[in-house]
Amino acid sequence: MTIDSEQINFKLTDALWEEMSEFEGVPIASLVVWDSSLVDDRLDDPVTDENRIYVDFELYLDDQRMLELYGVAVLEDETSDALVGLDNIGRALSRLAENGAFIQEIAADQDDSLVLILQDQENKRLLTPVTAWLATTWDALPEETV
């Protein structure tokens, strides 16, 4: 994964909010969860698959756009703690994707960081606060997608 730091976004400005709002309602074609995160080196304790809270993943959208998401926590709702463990996080995201997930809402937390609210056809939702992201396009899905 090559990253152009000039395209990476960390805060949801008014202009970015307007741009990101175009993603609302767009179905997710597939996703890929990485087994490491760009934020791993900034954490105090060593990260293992079992204690992982933050993941990086790519959302491949039906309209050929892709969101590369970095340092993402996955929560079942506003009051729950983040899911822990790479397997648990991967399963939760996979279940949502397999049930016709889409980006239900673009939101921001108290620090103006991006929060994607993902929802499936059964109205199950996941909140995904994002440390950093970039938007790009895709031509073909990678082989290891959900």
pLDDT for residue 146 = 56
Per-position DSSP letters for the chain, written without gaps between them: ----TTT-B-S--HHHHHHHGGGTTPBEEEEEE-SS-TTGGGSSSPP-TTT---EEEEEEETTSEEEEEEEE--BSSTTSPPP-SHHHHHHHHHHHHHTT-EEEEEEE-TTS-EEEEEE-TT--EEEEE-SEEEEEE-SS--SS--
pLDDT for residue 1 = 41
Angle, alpha carbons 102-103-106 (nearest 5°) = 170
pLDDT in 10s for each residue of the chain, 146 residues? 444 446 899 999 999 999 999 999 999 999 999 999 999 989 888 999 999 999 999 999 999 999 999 999 999 999 999 999 999 999 999 999 999 999 999 999 999 999 999 999 999 999 999 999 999 999 888 776 65
How is the chain split into domains, by residue range? 14-137
Question: Using one digit for the tens of pLDDT, what is the confidence trace for 121-138?
Answer: 999 999 999 999 999 999
pLDDT for residue 2 = 45
pLDDT for residue 25 = 97
